[in-house]
């Protein structure tokens, strides 16, 4: 009787290459030792990943879902990623995911392809307005940034900026002179190991009158993990102010794209960088400019929870949005020459019914599988890798 482990190498590779999504790799690895070893081989992994459609991680009902996108108006193979209960937000870096939980008790670093996780506890209690980022320095040492500017507490505002080194298993404070502010719902993204954020000039309020936000400078900020500091203000290709829609996205993890929709405007514009480094940026001409009123009416994409991805070759954008009650999720596919389509992503009532809270965090981030392992704390003796 022929055993699974006795099948020819080319047949095994053909079978495994047809596995629909990474989450199915858990079953593959548990089949036999040989299949487990093959799934971790760099050459096979490159072949496997090349055959996949564009992948995204979607957060809904405080859970993560892995989905494939074909940019023809469909989202396929929705798989539940059971990494941690009640995931509030997720940050993608080089195939690794940094997840924060709703109870604010821990962070989880996860490689879905390898099934490897690491849980991290805070030194100072996590806060609902925390901003997190995962990155690495020139020596590929993985680190986590935690930034909190509690400007909402005008009587006693405070700033927390600290970094966690996965190799040394330690938190330490960073000295930051923040003459700028970042809204906690404007999550950043990772490019080449550095983290980029949409930020704006800090406006001082004396407790009287109103602040004119139309003159508030907006820009990009980069946190450079090698030097463990924020870089200079990087110019945006437009000027925006509060309650206008601004969202960031990565392009092949090499360039940055930004979406802008003005207040009470139906014109959606997307720019892509020519070059981006921690201390410099240059922008191409507008990648896509679409008046969405003929298709969707007077619609303003959510300025706090919106996210998007683009297809450069087809000049298409897929924008993920929530309704005003932060319950219903919809994807809008737009392109040149009047191309448009809407995709119903269903409702997310769990947070409203169980907690009474709104969820205005980023809905979607791109995902690229990797064989990069999560760094573990250096210990005596061999540490067994944890798989799921």
**How many other CB atoms are there within 10 angstroms of residue 299's CB atom?**
14
pLDDT at 118 (0 to 100): 94
Q: What per-residue confidence (pLDDT) applies to 277?
A: 95
Q: Return the H-helix or E-strand segment holding 48.
A: helix 42-50
Query: Is residue 352 left, alpha or beta, with left meaning phi > 0 and alpha meaning psi from -120 to 50?
Result: alpha
The pair of structure tokens assigned to 341 is 């389509």
Residue 387 confidence (pLDDT): 43
What pTM was computed for the model?
0.84
| 121-160 core/surface letters (b: 16 or more CB in 10 A; e: else) | ebeeebeebbbbbbbbbeeebbbbbbbbbbbeeeeeeeeb
Query: Could you report the average pLDDT of every consecutive run of 10 residues in the chain (388 residues)?
Result: 58 58 57 65 61 70 75 62 68 91 85 87 86 95 92 64 95 91 86 94 65 76 96 93 86 90 90 96 94 87 79 90 75 88 75 54 74 80 46
């Amino acid at each position: 009787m022929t055993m699974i482990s006795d099948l020819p190498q080319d047949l095994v590779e053909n079978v495994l290459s047809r596995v629909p999504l990474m989450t199915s790799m858990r079953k593959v690895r548990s089949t036999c030792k040989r299949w487990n070893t093959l799934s971790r081989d760099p050459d096979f992994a490159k072949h496997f990943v090349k055959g996949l459609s564009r992948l995204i991680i979607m957060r809904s009902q405080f859970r993560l879902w892995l989905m494939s996108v074909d940019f023809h108006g469909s989202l396929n193979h929705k798989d539940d990623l059971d990494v941690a209960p009640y995931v509030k937000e997720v940050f993608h870096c080089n195939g690794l995911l940094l997840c924060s939980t709703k109870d604010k008790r821990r962070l989880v670093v996860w490689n879905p392809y390898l099934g490897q996780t690491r849980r991290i506890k805070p030194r100072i209690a996590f806060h609902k307005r925390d901003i997190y980022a995962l990155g690495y320095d020139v020596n590929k040492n993985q680190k986590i940034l935690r930034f909190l500017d509690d400007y909402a507490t005008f009587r006693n505002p405070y700033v927390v900026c600290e970094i966690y080194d996965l190799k040394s298993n330690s938190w330490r404070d960073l000295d930051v002179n923040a003459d700028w502010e970042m809204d906690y719902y404007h999550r950043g993204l990772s490019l080449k190991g550095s983290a980029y954020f949409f930020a704006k000039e800090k406006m001082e309020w004396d407790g009287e009158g109103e602040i004119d936000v139309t003159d508030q400078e907006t820009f990009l900020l980069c946190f450079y993990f090698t030097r463990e500091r924020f870089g200079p203000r990087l110019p945006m290709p437009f000027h925006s102010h509060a309650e206008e829609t601004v969202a960031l996205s990565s392009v092949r993890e090499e360039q940055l794209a930004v979406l802008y929709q003005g207040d009470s405007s139906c014109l959606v514009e997307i720019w892509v960088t020519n070059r981006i480094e921690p201390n410099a940026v240059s922008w191409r001409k507008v990648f896509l400019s679409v008046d969405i009123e003929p298709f969707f009416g007077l619609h303003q994409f959510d300025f706090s929870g919106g996210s998007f991805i683009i297809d450069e070759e087809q000049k298409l954008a897929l924008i993920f949005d929530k309704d005003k009650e932060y319950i219903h999720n919809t994807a809008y596919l737009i392109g040149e020459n009047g191309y448009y389509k809407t995709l119903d992503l269903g409702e997310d009532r769990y947070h409203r019914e169980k907690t009474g809270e709104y969820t205005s965090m980023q809905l979607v981030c791109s995902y690229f599988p990797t064989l990069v392992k999560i760094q573990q704390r250096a210990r005596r003796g061999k540490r067994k890798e944890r798989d799921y």
